[in-house]
Chains A and B, each alone.
Chain A
């Protein structure tokens, strides 16, 4: 199982080749879904005019940032290394990327309520998106702990 460690002020993600391959598969499978706004994509304003301004001036930066975060994760995972050193800024980028990918997986599974992990049927648990939620959730917890320590 992948590990996230903090050594001499640097974060290290230790992930073997099989896990890296699986994570790249997750990125490649779900990132195209993020190209279009998710149905769950948050609005900033109730007011339609202000929201249109936000979509015009702010949203493109958010989209570019998300694409850059995901590309950073993919590049690191395909570099052929078992130990991936991350700065705090890179760890935050990984966290953002994983959260967007988890949101996409949750939308595919139709999750709308808390407690989905306890309520999931055996059929749901067999779906790859369910595995994405669990695997990336584990890595997010590890990264949060490393950043907070």
Chain B
């Protein structure tokens, strides 16, 4: 019986190291929220839900990570979007930074 081989999937061209570095630089910016002793836990959960659309359980887990470990990466976004997110977090009075992983 004749058989036909399945077409081999087209391989995506391998990215050059420069391209990977560029993508990482432009698209992989972490938005980090830092602990502060004043801001209420419930308020942090609300802000994370409103800004990033997280469900209550995810926002609470991230808030507890901030509280217990001092910081948490709450999103990874292209640089411009990450800067907007950090600006929104600052507007809510939260300690937040953005940086490369």
Interface set of A (CB-CB < 8 Å, partner B): 40, 42-46, 54, 58, 61-62, 65-66, 92, 95-96, 99-100, 102-103, 105-106, 111-116, 133, 137, 140-141, 144-145, 147-148
Residues on B facing A (Cβ under 8 Å): 34-40, 42-43, 45-46, 50, 56, 67, 83, 86-87, 90-99
Contacts of B43 in A (CB 8 A): 95, 99, 140, 144
Contacts A44-B86, A44-B98, A140-B43 given; does A99 touch B93 at CB 8 Å: yes
Residue contact A144 to B40, C-beta cutoff 8 Å: yes
Contact A96 B91 (CB under 8 A): yes
Residue of A with least CB distance to B82: A44
Q: Which residue of B lies closest to A100 (CB)?
A: B93
A99 in contact with B39 (CB, 8 Å)? yes
A58 touches B87 (CB 8 A): yes
Given contacts A43-B97, A44-B96, A144-B43, 5 further A-B contacts (CB under 8 A): A42-B95, A54-B83, A92-B50, A103-B36, A140-B43
Contact of A42 among B37, B45, B83, B90 (CB under 8 A): B90
- Give me 13 A-to-B residue pairs in the complex whose CB atoms sit less than 8 angstroms apart, sorted by A's number: A42-B90, A42-B95, A43-B97, A54-B83, A102-B38, A103-B39, A103-B93, A106-B38, A111-B38, A140-B40, A140-B43, A144-B43, A147-B46
